Amino acid sequence: MDYDAIVIGSGVGGLASAALLAKAAGWRVLVLERRWRVGGFTHAFRRGAFEWDVGLHYVGDLQEGGGTRRVFDAIAEGLEWARLPAPFDRFAYPDLTVDVPDDPAALLTDLQARFPAEREGLERFFRLRQRAAHELGALIAAKQLRRRPERARLPEARFALKTTAEVTARCIRDPRLAAALLSQWGDYGVPPRESAFGAHAAVSAHYDHGGWYPVGGGGAIADAIVPAIEAAGGAVWASARASEILLEGGRAAGVRVLRGRGRRAREVVVTAPRVLSNAGAMVTFGELLPREAVPEGVLADLRALPPPPTVVTLYLGLAKPPSAFGLSGGNVWVFQDHDHDAPIDPLGGRPGVCYLSFPSARNPAVKASATPGHTAEIIMPAPGVFAPWEGTRWRRRGEGYEALKAKLAEVMLDAVEPHAPGLGDAVVHRELSTPLTIRELMGHDRGAIYGLPAVPARFRLPWLRARTPVPGVFLTGSDVGLHGIGGALMGGVVAAGMALGRFGPLRELLGALPFG
């Protein structure tokens, strides 16, 4: 049961690291997934004719030559992508609707025509957005390569580590336009007054050339990557929960694993000189590593960050396709006002933002079916509303919990109904997931779906990088760099590169490193 490396978590960051190590160096890699289905937030689930994605809604940077495209092409055999229908993003406000084209120059031209007084400010905003994205990328890359980042002089981040609201206010005066430019804050979960502008810049630029969806649904990603891991003699275990990273002489030596489900579960020890954790920084340092091995101050730094953003997701089975509601099947971001920083209170009439998407409309495999199952998802922030049920078990949380879920579902349907008339009447199946479900089933800290919050303080932590202070232990996934599928994928590249030793054969496999 000896391997060259063990990866904890089969999200896209973990799978990418494992596949890159297998393909670039021929390493035997074991991937551990605590759930019974591989893929992390890229996996899908079914209810009869309906199928939904748990976390993947769209991916950017998949145009010819894009860094995300190059990495997926290298590790995912036979994976195909379909462009989202136009407009792939729509930002809907009571007095303003912006349809986002797959060309940033076209978006700039459209906004300048609609807001002529902001012409110069818009040009400055887009320039600073590009600069901040590069600044943050350079900062993240530099932290990986410095032997002692806490003592090293890191690249200047003049705009990347200012707040998104602060930089936007330097460029834009009209609150309607400012709100429209920052509509995608839901892609990383932190509102403009708190988020690092570099994070907003990088995430929004990720979709400059449009959005794509994997043919066959989110589950097709893991299906396409796992064979590369197995071909090198590695393995992917589902229902295998890592309980402890084992050390010998202060270095990684393996992982203690509870393998199997229910009464059949048994504890096994798997050995390897390298362990890559895709479980997130808080879980890795706070739960998996022995407390005495975690350097003083690491957990304090993590706990000093704001709570990670959490959401609820409403999964809908529909009797009609999105065209019946006047929509193409792209994403619709619904806001009731222009203030992204106002307190979110979904039960008090202010949900903040509701993100509506149609998985079935972007999957050619569903559209070509003789009996397609039309689906929709609505995502809404819901901080703190489930605190009374902390510590309860999945499907055993009681009537009060179910009543709250039903109320939130109605709030979400009411919010999107003006922008998708008739959607509520077409619902034939619905169910709502909460942060408590995410925590119990996926193991994420406090049930967060984004990882560590995208605030300036998070990116200033010198030790937060792929190579941890514990020799042989690495972080992979979104906490290494940025959020979303693309961010987690690049975190997987960075972690694999550092495990190999300053990237080594990855450069040959990928042609060139797709970041920094």
β pairing state of 473-475 and 275-277: parallel
Do 246 and 141 belong together in one domain? no
Query: 311 φ, ψ to 5°?
Result: -140, 165
pLDDT value of position 151: 65
User: What does the alpha-carbon distance between residue 362 and residue 328 come to, in Å, rounded to a whole number?
Assistant: 9
- Taking 50 as the pLDDT cut, the residues of the chain under it are 516
Which residue type does 147 have? R
User: What's the count of helices (H) and strands (E) in the chain, helices before strands?
Assistant: 17, 19
Query: Does residue 445 sit within a domain?
Result: no
Domain that residue 126 falls in: 105-206
Residue 182 and residue 220 in one domain: no
What does 451-491 look like in DSSP terms, one character per residue?
-S---HHHHH-TT-SSB-SSTTEEE-SGGGS-SHHHHHHHH
Residue 158 lies in a domain: yes
Determine, yes or no, domain membership for 201: yes
| Residues 339 and 428 occupy one common structural domain | yes
CB atoms closer than 10 angstroms to residue 238: 16
Burial of 270 (0-12, 13-18, 19+ CB in 10 A): buried
In a domain, 27, yes or no: yes
Regarding whether 125 and 28 lie in a shared domain, the answer is no
**Whether residue 341 sits in one domain with residue 259:** no
DSSP code per residue over 191-251? -TTTSBHHHHHHHHHHTTT--EEETT-THHHHHHHHHHHHHTT-EEESSEEEEEEEEETTE
Q: Is residue 74 part of a domain?
A: yes
pLDDT given at position 211: 96
Same domain membership, residue 483 and residue 338: no
Could you tell me the CATH number of the domain that includes residue 494? 3.50.50.60
Rounded (10°) CA dihedral 414, 418, 436, 459: -140
pLDDT of amino acid 1: 63
Q: Tell me the angle at which helices 197-206 and 484-500 cross, rounded to the nearest 10 degrees.
A: 100
Amino acid at residue number 326: G
Whether 49 and 145 map to the same domain: the answer is: no
Q: Final residue of a domain: which of 206, 230, 247?
A: 206
Residue 150 lies in a domain: yes
**pTM confidence score:** 0.94
Q: Which of 143, 173, 206 is the last residue in one of the domains?
A: 206
Q: What token pair was written down for 67?
A: 């860094």
Q: With respect to residue 64, please indicate whether it lies within any of the assigned structural domains.
A: yes
Sign of CA dihedral 94, 87, 346, 407: positive
The burial class, CB within 10 Å (0-12 / 13-18 / 19+), for 227 is: middle
Side-by-side strand order, sheet with 89-93: 96-100, 89-93, 331-334, 354-357, 374-381, 311-318, 427-433
335/423 same-domain check: yes
- Of 171, 206, 241, the position where a domain reaches its end is 206
User: What is the number of domains present in the chain?
Assistant: 3
Residue 478: inside a domain: yes
Task: Say yes or no: 295 and 317 in one domain.
Answer: no
Claim to verify: residue 222 and residue 315 sit in the same structural domain: no
CB atoms near residue 156 (< 10 Å): 11
| Rounded Cα distance, 491 and 477, in Å | 4
C-alpha 340 chain-centroid distance: 20
Do 323 and 270 share a structural domain? no
Residues 144 and 58 occupy one common structural domain: no
Distance CA(28)–CA(162), nearest Å, equals 42
